[in-house]
Amino acid sequence: MNFDRARAQSSAVALADGRQRLARAVIAAAHDWSPSQQEMLATVATPPEDIAGVIERLKTVQKILDVLPPSPGANRVAAFNTLYLTITEQVAASLSGPDVTDPDWLETLDVEFARLYFKALGAWGVTGSNPADAWEVLFRRAHDDSVTAVDAAVLGVNAHINHDLALAVIATWERLGHPGDGPQHPDYLLVNKIFYQQIPLLRRRFATAWQLEIDRCVGDLDDWSQRILVRTTRALAWEQAEILWRLRDDPEDLARALLVLDRASACAGETLLTGTSLLKAVWLTATAWFRRLVKRR
């Protein structure tokens, strides 16, 4: 397998330029977690060791976010955190169920996944330590009430799945082995089912009156399209992990690939705010772009 360094460099530049054009419409920008910056940093400073620790920290983060600007309960990052907490609790409940092949593997993946979110929270507003661009798309709009809670939650899902998930899979392989499409892959897919169950409920919880009216008009169409999007993006994250895994012995090429992945995810997040159907097209295009960086012999 060869890695196209020149294409990676040009792609990273083009994606950065594209994001700048898309981001011009930002109304409000948050720069840290004030007035609770130190409380947030202390909460996420120590990485969790198990899924119970993940849930505990998510609950503490929720309490912090719920009192931040623009008003109590209206911070846009809080909308994503609510969704993430709900999904994580469902994953924790599934670990002892009959459908899980390797509960240790699935719990480790969940922990590594959460650590990336907490790392991003801990980097926001800290001099010399910036979160991934994909997370910055959401964080800088934390106070922006022109962004709906639904869109804010999906911005977080975009960053966490389209950027973080491949990295979490790699970290899990590094700790436990089993790289590739092995017996743990069905456990990875089990999380899709949890998303299918929870996203419609949470979307309607955050929806505005006109969004609820649209929901009534289209019936199950939105739920079906979002299930397709969840399945597709999580499948692509696994494929990206396999590509990145093969680059792990070349730090320079790995860094180039990670930069493209981050910037593509950030562009997808910015595009979300112009329309979800366009987001799907842009993310799939960006992912195809990422694949083209790798040439198989």
For 30-47, what is each residue's pLDDT tens digit?
789 999 999 999 999 999
DSSP type of residue 3: E
Q: What is the pLDDT of residue 177?
A: 83
Which amino acid is it at 105? W
Residues 6+ apart with CB under 8 A from 170: 241, 244, 245, 248
Question: Is the pTM value of this prediction over 0.85?
Answer: no
Tens digits of per-residue pLDDT, 89-115? Answer: 999 999 999 989 999 999 999 999 999
- Alpha-carbon distance 52 to 54, whole Å? 5
Structure tokens at 215: 């929901």
Residues 6+ apart with CB under 8 A from 149: 76, 79, 206
Tens digits of per-residue pLDDT, 199-250? Answer: 666 655 555 544 444 455 444 545 544 566 677 778 888 988 988 998 888 8
